Amino acid sequence: MRARAHELLDQAYAAGVRYVDVARSYGRAEEFLAQWLRARPDADDVVVGSKWGYTYVAGWRVDADAHELKDHSVATFDRQLGESRALLGDRLDLYQIHSVTPDSPALHDEVLHRRLADLAAEGTLIGLSTSGPAQAEAIRAALGVRVGGRPLFRSVQATWNPLEPSAGPALAEAHDAGCLVIVKEALANGRLAGAGNLASGGAPADAVALAAALQRPWATVVLSGAVTGDQLASNLRAQTLTVDPARWQGLAVPGARYWHERSQLPWA
């Protein structure tokens, strides 16, 4: 797994990719990335984003009863920041609260906010990722969080794709407020990777879906999620495509339905 991860990172770097997104709950992703960075001192322009708030507990079993445990407490932040720093050191450029929803205590915990502000003062950008049908509500609540009169969250990572575009207006507001906007799940967890009705002019569906996200004027980074070199090469074709919005605007489904169907997808 480590060798495959490093091979893919080599290919991505050679192709011009300069942002890498990991998380405490993504198995050994931070560890594999840290090892690659140490082996590639020339890759000093890579921007590293990680996330805290989930603990991976599946033990590499896809049939485990639980895969991740969510906890946005100060204690979890302190523990996981220590774990991330132990691996990534000063290469941790962006640290995000993982999967914030409107009911997350992370939006209201002033002690946590001060801890995050202290980390920001050390030079690490503070952000959050969102999930669920109320992403827009969570994003707007986060934009209102201030410490010492200054906005705390300077980066937002959210799901946006042709099936679930509802966070778009809130992401535009985040962009206008000066935040980085990172799009995740642009392929709807693989559901759009083989969508024949998205393929266009010889371009594969995955590239078209990613291009649709890249064309959003508020999008700073669109995550690939590729796990093989062939997938990466196909994804990167999105950079040269211009997609007519008419190709995907009719694909959107109600948010509640989208997130319910997503919750039923098998772990793989």
Q: What is the pLDDT of residue 43?
A: 97
Q: What is the pLDDT of residue 199?
A: 67
Q: What is the per-residue pLDDT across 167-212, written as a single tens digit (0 to 9) for each? A: 999 999 999 999 999 999 999 998 898 766 676 667 888 999 999 9
Phi then psi for residue 119, to 5 deg, are -65, -40
Q: What is the pLDDT of residue 53?
A: 98
The candidate with the shortest Cα–Cα distance to 210, out of 199, 201, 202, 256, is 199
CA 14 to chain centre: 21
Q: Which range among 2-16, 58-72, 117-131, 171-185 shows the weakest confidence by mean pLDDT?
A: 58-72
The yes-or-no verdict on residue 248 having pLDDT over 90 is no
Q: Which pLDDT band, with edges at 50, 70 and 90, does 243 fall under? A: confident
Phi then psi for residue 149, to 5 deg, are 80, 0
Q: What is the per-residue pLDDT across 89-138, written as a single tens digit (0 to 9) for each? A: 999 999 999 999 999 999 999 999 999 999 999 999 999 999 999 999 99
Q: Are 177 and 263 in contact (CB under 8 A)?
A: no
Neighbours of 92 (CB within 10 A): 22
The β-bridge relationship of strands 180-184 and 125-130 is unpaired
* Residues whose CB is less than 8 angstroms from the CB of residue 227 and which lie 6 or more positions away in sequence, other chains included: 4, 8
Rounded-to-5 percentages of helix, strand, coil across the chain = 40, 20, 40
Give the Cα separation of 106 and 131 in Å (integer): 14
Kindly state the greatest CA–CA separation across the chain. Answer: 53
Tell me the average pLDDT of the chain.
94
Element containing residue 255 per DSSP (H, E) = helix 255-263
Q: Which range among 17-21, 178-182, 246-250, 258-262 shows the weakest confidence by mean pLDDT?
A: 246-250
Q: Which range among 24-33, 77-86, 121-130, 258-267 shows the weakest confidence by mean pLDDT?
A: 258-267
The yes-or-no verdict on residue 65 having pLDDT over 90 is no
Q: What is the per-residue pLDDT across 215-224, written as a single tens digit (0 to 9) for each? A: 999 999 999 9
* Residues whose CB is less than 8 angstroms from the CB of residue 235 and which lie 6 or more positions away in sequence, other chains included: 206, 207, 210, 224, 225, 226
Q: Which pLDDT band, with edges at 50, 70 and 90, does 35 fall under? A: very high
Q: What is the pLDDT of residue 76?
A: 98
Q: Which pLDDT band, with edges at 50, 70 and 90, does 266 fall under? A: confident
Angle, CA of 63, 100 and 129, to the nearest 5°: 85
The yes-or-no verdict on residue 41 having pLDDT over 70 is yes
Q: What is the pLDDT of residue 177?
A: 98
